[in-house]
Amino acid sequence: MAIMAIIILVSYSSNGQILTSNRQNYFNKYAERLPANVSELEKAFSTEEGRKVKINFGNFSFFGIVIISVKKYENLQSIVVKSPDLNNTLLAISRRINEDKTISYVGHIINEKYADGFELRKDTDGSYAMNKIKTDALIEDY
C-alpha cells in the first residue's frame, strides 16, 4: 500500500502547475459504482511489466500497459497500468496476502488532469467495486 501511495504522490506532484479547482470531470459517462471481479484484478498481477492488459469493470474496460509491477514483500504486490486510450489515466492496484491467507485489494483509477476517478473498495458482502471519487478533495494544490 505504501508503494501505491508513493506512485500516486509522484504522479500528482510531478505536475504541480495544474490547478485542481479548474479540473474537469473525465468519467461522467460511467456509473458511480463499477463491479470489480477478483479474477479481472488478478489479470493485472499475472501480466509482466511492459505488456498490455485489459481489465473489465462491468461495462467499463481499462486497457493499457503495465508500467510498474513490484513485489516488495512476499505478501505485497503492486502494479500500475497506464492507458493511452484514456488520456494516460493510471490504474494502480495493490494485493496483500493477510496473515489468515485471505487476499485484500486496494486501488485507484486516476488522471492528474481530471477532478474525478475511482477507488477500489470492498463491499460488505465481500465483493469489490470501483467507486467514483472526487480527486479534488484528496489532492491539494502546490
DSSP state, residue 108 = E
What's the confidence (pLDDT) of residue 36? 95
13 within some domain: no
Residues 80-96: pLDDT tens digits? 999 999 999 999 999 99
5-37 pLDDT tens trace: 445 544 544 444 444 457 888 888 999 999 999
Output the pLDDT for position 22: 78
127 belongs to a structural domain: yes
Domain holding 98, by residue range, is: 2-8+31-137
Q: What is the pLDDT of residue 88?
A: 96
* Residue 24 placed within a domain: no
* Structural domain count, the chain: 1
What is the value of pTM for the model shown?
Answer: 0.81
* pLDDT greater than 50 at residue 60: yes
Report which secondary-structure segment, H or E, holds 6.
Answer: helix 2-13
User: Mean pLDDT in the chain?
Assistant: 85
Strand order in the sheet with 116-122: 33-36, 128-134, 116-122, 103-110, 89-97, 76-83, 60-73, 52-57
Q: Is the pLDDT of residue 55 over 80?
A: yes
**What does the pLDDT look like over 120-140, one tens digit per residue?**
999 999 999 999 998 866 655
